[in-house]
Structure 1
Amino acid sequence: MISQLLFAIIFILAIVLFTFNAKKIIRNIKLGRPTDRSDNPALRLKKMLKVAFGQSKMTKRPTAFVLHLFVYLGFVIINIEMLEIMIDGLAGTHRVFAGLGSFYNFLIASFEWLALGVLVGCILFLIRRNIIHVKRFLGVEMTNWPKTDANLILITEILLMTAFLFMNAADHKIQLQVQNEAIIGSFPISSWLLPLLPANTDSLHFIERFSWWFHIIGVLAFLNYLPYSKHLHIILAFPNTYFSNLKPKGQFTNMDTVTHEVKAMLDPSYTPPATEQPMRFGVKDVPDLTWKNLLEAYTCTECGRCTAVCPANITGKLLSPRKIMMDTRDRMVEIGEQVDKKGSFSEDGKALLDDYITREEIWACTSCNACVEACPVNINPLEIIIDLRRYAIMEESQAPSSINAMFGNIENNSAPWKYAQADRANWNNG
């Protein structure tokens, strides 16, 4: 009973803590402006199944895709066994689903092969990050914490899978030592560990119980680490891909604030809808973004695929689309902490533009959508960049000289070029 009570307490505390942190994340996402992403649910579901479940955009880098598939499938499917572990922990039973017979043996054998896949994948990922130093894992935004975060998750997964296999190995050896008892489960991988285990039954029971507790507590700790980690994408990739922008990638949205202004000019009787805050053209800080932008910031995997294909970054410019998302998330968390302390957000003398994302970064962007196309979970850094530009131009009248020259040409010549309309065909006269 003591073991069952202890398990129940740990389990309940873990769920309560995760719920508390999940509510904070939802609250932070709701700091953004509303946007409607409820249209065409069938197409959205199809996109989610294809991109998030099927990982279709991962295939562009075959090596990373295969390794990630091992880890993704293995870690997700193995945790189906968590159901049995929870029932065993609460009821004091042992392998409660053993009554499934040969199907149970098939499940345990499958879990073990998947655990091996997770181990191999995580070890190779550690080598790629820390020995090979794959270029896209580097960058000014990849400070000590992002690197440590990635390594912590990989090491944790290795330890959890190792504990799982040792738990099965110890249980298997105990069953082999008990005469006239049918073997419960099939252990194609953990049986390799039998020579490493002691022959003493008491020692085997200790190893089995220790591995069992280590595995379950490790999984619950991993669950509560997710809200502080880039690996939150394990959960948020699914809603993020479901709420993807279904419009063509090159199609920019009209700003509601501009639309209302134009309607008011054309129709004096038109009354713009009342808002709690003064209307702002573009984005200066996190509350000016939409909730979808903020969901994307939390979903970012920091994989660097966007930055690796960014032509501005490739040519040595300051822009990194990954940094745009990481900066947005950092500023959002900072505002959320202020809400926790004061109950609401008030101007703190800082903003997303300038304090986190520089002007040089936003004007380096070519708006080519390469980052949007490359992201494995349909994140759109370009939306944030464009709205920051809109604020700089429409609210502050600040833009690079080349942009101002283009605006002047459009105003005077109805085209981006400096030539008058009457001279446009001169190139054909020679």
Structure 2
Amino acid sequence: MEYIPNVLFTLILALGIGFFVRNIKKLSRNIRLGKDVDVSDNKPTRWKNMARIALGQSKMVVRPIPGILHIIVYVGFIIINIEVLEIIIDGVLGTHRIFAPLGKFYDILIGSFEILALLVIIAIIVFWLRRNIIKLKRFFKSEMSGWPKMDGNIILYFELVLMTLFLTMNGADYQLQQMGAVHYVEAGYFPVSQFIAEFFDGFSVSTLIVIERVCWWLHIVGILCFLNYLYYSKHLHILLAFPNTYYGKLTPKGQFKNNDAVTKEVKVMMDPSADPFAAPAEDAPMPEKFGASDVMDLSWVQLLNAYTCTECGRCTSECPANQTGKKLSPRKIMMDTRDRLEEVGKNMDSNKGVFVDDGKQLLDNYITKEELWACTSCNACVEACPVSIDPLSIIMDIRQYLVMEQSAAPSDLNNMMGNIENNGAPWPFNQMDRLNWKTES
């Protein structure tokens, strides 16, 4: 009977980690639906970017108040995971505070955990107030209604409950240590939870053990639930921010990539030995699509971008098109891409791993032409993103599809391109008339 809690804990741990691994495999499969792209260059620079942006949070502190609060939550969760490691070992082996023999170092660890837990609670309360009382404008755009709005609050409640359980568990543990309860060795320093322990004065040992054990179980089960909730939440960036910043764009922001499909076609046209009227060979591959109309036409890095989106709205708040009332929201572009990718993934799950055409695509069914053509390609969204997401690359790829595959550019753009073709300039004037102004008196 004494081993039942250990077996139960091990089973819950295995189920929690197993479900998480299953979702990560699904996530990896969905990202790999994108086109292959070579991002193996400049590894030292990529490692530096990951360390500076993802680990160092350098772009978060551009806005100091939310940036510092985010760092507190971020550091708190990373460091407190050391405590989670102790809980897991204790749960499997049936021990209690197995790291206690570390002595003074253990005291410092527990003390720092508690101070960070308190700071995390304060930061969470401020974040909740900003969302629900102050109601910052960027959290209330049209794309943030329904699940995205709910998700932002759920994750705050999750974090608040986990930190409260941690401190309450320690408070009961501290009181049990003072009472000399069996199995509760005197270890750790409790600068925060010792005040919580004052509420437990007069409680019996058996009652305190129940409180401590209930908080212990709820805390670790809550962490496993939180881990598996990440896949369904914008907080997936906790895991993906690191690879996303590593694979982020290194070229200057104003430099657009050449389309390989266009390059191939131009090379064929310029090949003097090529017969433009020759029928394609039977085994010849289908010509590659110009641009993108669906998620499978994007690169895997762009799909990784979509899953990494934090929905913070910094990109949208900096977008000049959005500021002037136009429909474009770079955040919505990323959210739409992720939603479509999830839809494609569920389609494959239902059809034994094969995508069956569902009559939908990213263009029109998710992202409208009005949104795409509102973009000024200024890169403000790319500069603002705290985790190196590039919404502009998706916008430009879909625009390229509209122009080169559907000839569906706006009339003003068609007029300009016609003028360039006929007159060598965007303006509707004959080349011979360009210098007429010089001869006028």
TM norm. shorter chain > 0.5 = yes
Report how many aligned residue pairs link the two structures.
430
Shift of 1:40: 1.0
String of CA shifts for 1:296-355, please: whole Å, max 9, x gaps.
Answer: 000000000000000000000000000000000000000111111113113221110011
Structure 2 Cα separation of the partners of residues 194 and 33 of structure 1 = 57
Matched, 1:296 2:305: yes
Assess if the C-alpha contact under 8 Å between 1:327 and 1:357 holds in 2.
Answer: yes
TM-score (norm 1): 0.97
1:389 to 2:399 alignment: yes
Contact 2:181 2:205 survives alignment (8 Å):
no
Distance in 1 (CA, whole Å) between partners of 2:284 and 2:166 is 55
Q: Secondary structure at the match of 2:40?
A: coil
Match for residue 50 of structure 2?
Answer: 48
CA separation in 2, counterparts of 1:426 and 1:276?
Answer: 52
Is the 2:169–2:215 contact (alpha carbons within 8 Å) kept by the matching residues of 1? yes
Residue equivalent to 1:26: 28
Q: CA deviation at 1:275?
A: 8.1
Decide which of 46, 59, 62 is 2:61's aligned counterpart: 59
Identify the residue that residue 243 of structure 1 maps to in structure 2. 247
1:335 — aligned with what? Answer: 344
What percentage of residue pairs aligned between the two structures are identical?
A: 58
Partners of 1:10 and 1:374 lie apart in 2 by 41
Task: Give 1:202's aligned residue.
Answer: 206
Q: CA deviation at 1:79?
A: 1.2
Asked whether the equivalents of residues 382 and 391 of structure 2 are also in contact (C-alpha less than 8 Å), the reply is yes
- Counterpart of 2:377, as a letter, is S
Aligned residue identity for 2:268: A
SS in 2 for 1:56: coil
> Residues 277 and 89 of structure 1: is their aligned pair in 2 closer, same or farther, counting only changes over 3 Å?
farther
AA matched with 2:251: K
Residues 67 and 426 (structure 1), Cα distance of their counterparts in 2 relative to 1, 3 Å cut: farther
Deviation of residue 280 (structure 1)?
0.4
Whole-Å separation in 2 of the counterparts to 1:34 and 1:419: 44
2:132 is aligned, of 130, 133, 154, to 130
Matching residue's letter, 1:352: L
Which amino acid is 2:266 matched to? V
Relative to structure 1, is the Cα distance of residues 246 and 269 closer, same or farther in structure 2, using a 3 angstrom cutoff?
A: farther
SS in 1 for 2:106: helix
Question: What one-letter code is carried by the residue in structure 1 that aligns with 2:341?
Answer: M
Deviation at 1:60, TM superposition (A): 1.4
Partner of 1:140: 142
Deviations 1:10-67 (A, max 9, x none): 0001111001110100000011100011111111000000000011111111111011
Say whether residues 1:368 and 2:378 are aligned partners: yes
Contact 2:348 2:354 in 1 (8 A): yes
Correspondence for 1:71 among 70, 73, 95: 73
Structure 2: how far apart are the matches of 1:297 and 1:228?
A: 13
Distance in structure 2 (CA, Å) of the matches to 1:193 and 1:98: 21
Tell me if the contact between 2:377 and 2:392 (Cα under 8 Å) persists in the aligned partners. yes
CA distance in structure 2 between the partners assigned to 1:270 and 1:155 by the alignment = 65
**Please, what TM-score do these two structures have when normalized by structure 2?**
0.94
Counterpart of 1:229 in structure 2 is: 233
Q: How does 1:267-346 map to 2 (within 5 A)?
A: 267-268=271-272, 278-342=287-351, 343-346=353-356
The answer to whether the 8 Å contact 1:263/1:270 transfers is: no
Secondary structure (helix, strand or coil) at the match of 2:428 reads coil
- 1:62-104 residue CA offsets vs partner (Å, 9 max, x unmatched): 1110110111111111111111111100000000000000000
Q: 1:277 to 1:378 in 2, by over 3 A?
A: farther
Larger mean Cα displacement after TM superposition, 315-324 or 420-429: 420-429
Per the alignment, in what secondary structure is the counterpart of residue 426 of structure 2? Answer: coil
- Mapped to 1, the partners of 2:64 and 2:415 lie a distance apart of 45
CA-based RMSD? 1.9
Q: Secondary structure at the match of 1:246?
A: coil
1:263: Cα distance to partner?
A: 0.8
* Deviation by residue 1:399-428 (Cα, 9 ceiling, x = unmatched): 111111111111112122223334444556
Between 1:399-408 and 1:341-350, the stretch displaced more is 341-350
Whether 1:92 and 2:102 are equivalent positions in the alignment is no
d(CA) in 2 for partners of 1:35, 1:312 = 30
2:169 alignment partner in structure 1: 167
CA distance in 1, matches of 2:24, 2:311: 20
Unaligned runs of 5+ in 2: none
Distance across 1 between alignment mates of 2:319 and 2:378: 8
Partner of 1:188: 191
Offset, 1:222: 0.4
Q: Name the amino acid aligned to 2:382.
A: V
Q: What's 2:410 paired with?
A: 400
- Say if 1:170 and 1:425 are closer, same or farther in 2 by CA, change over 3 A: farther
C-alpha separation in 2, matches of 1:276 and 1:344: 20
Q: Which one-letter code corresponds to 1:344 in the other structure?
A: V
Q: Tell me the distance in 1 between the aligned counterparts of 2:393 and 2:274.
A: 29
